[in-house]
Amino acid sequence: MTMRLRQLSTVLAGLLTILLCADVQAAREQQRTRFRGGRDGESNRPIRVVTTLPDYAVLTRIIGGERVAVEYIVHGVQGPHHIRPKPSFITMVKQADLLIGTGLDLEMWLPTVVDKSGNRRVRSGEIGFVAVAEGIELAEKPTIISQSEGDVHVYGNPHITTSPINAIQVAKNICVGLVKNDPGNRVHYEQNFNSLKDQMQNRLFGEELVKLLGGDTLCTLAGKAS
């Protein structure tokens, strides 16, 4: 089961990369136009979402559809640990209705960007901030916290989307955040999330096994086995 999950994790990473290139990058200029443009009305315009990582941007676009305009800060070729805050990041966050980050010690630079943006709505603990690691049991929790051990993450490994099962929880947290900020479109977000979850679970375990035991049960069993 563990070897199969590793293989499927590689498949998921490839899928996210394809979606990122074909969906997010292709729509990037259109999204920028939405950010710069005027409003047709507060209830009609897309929610302005800024994510720290491109993985989160892909999942947000799948769940949000036309209801969101998404930009991300860290590109795939960059290490999220060591990002130097730029004025462009501050501008992005200042305009955001919703900010999506890991919520651990991966993006240590993010609080600085949020503070300088002056956008109180997207501060940690506020309605406009989503910590996608919520509800995920992290692996590789250190027993020794010391600089002599190198790059140590206090809470555990924050690279959570390397696990397809964790990625489902990340998507769920994003869905919850969108619903909180746009409750009028709750059905839209939840339908898109459920569709995504079903696709991922069917690819992980096969449709027959999912029908027999249920995707959520299989994810729980697989998590314990790993």
Any idea where the domains of the chain sit in the sequence? 2-35+45-136+150-225
Residue range 8-59, pLDDT digits in tens: 555 555 555 555 554 544 444 444 434 433 333 456 889 999 999 999 999 9
Tell me which of 101-105, 189-193, 198-202 is least confident: 101-105
Is the pLDDT at 114 greater than 90, yes or no?
Answer: yes
**pTM as predicted:** 0.77
Q: What is the DSSP string of the chain?
A: -HHHHHHHHHHHHHHHHHHIIIIIITTHHHHHHHHHS--S-TTTSPEEEEESSHHHHHHHHHHHGGGEEEEESS-TTS-GGGPPP-HHHHHHHHH-SEEEE--SSS-TTHHHHHHHHT-GGGSTTSTTEEETTTT---S---S---GGGSS--TTS---GGGSHHHHHHHHHHHHHHHHHH-GGGHHHHHHHHHHHHHHHHHHHH-HHHHHHH-HHHHHHHHHHH-
- In the structure, what pLDDT confidence band is assigned to residue 151 with cuts at 50, 70 and 90? low
Is the pLDDT at 139 greater than 60, yes or no?
Answer: no
Residue, of 138 and 36, whose pLDDT is higher = 138
Specify the CATH number for 2-35+45-136+150-225; select among 3.90.650.10, 3.40.50.1980, 3.40.50.2300, 3.30.70.360.
Answer: 3.40.50.1980
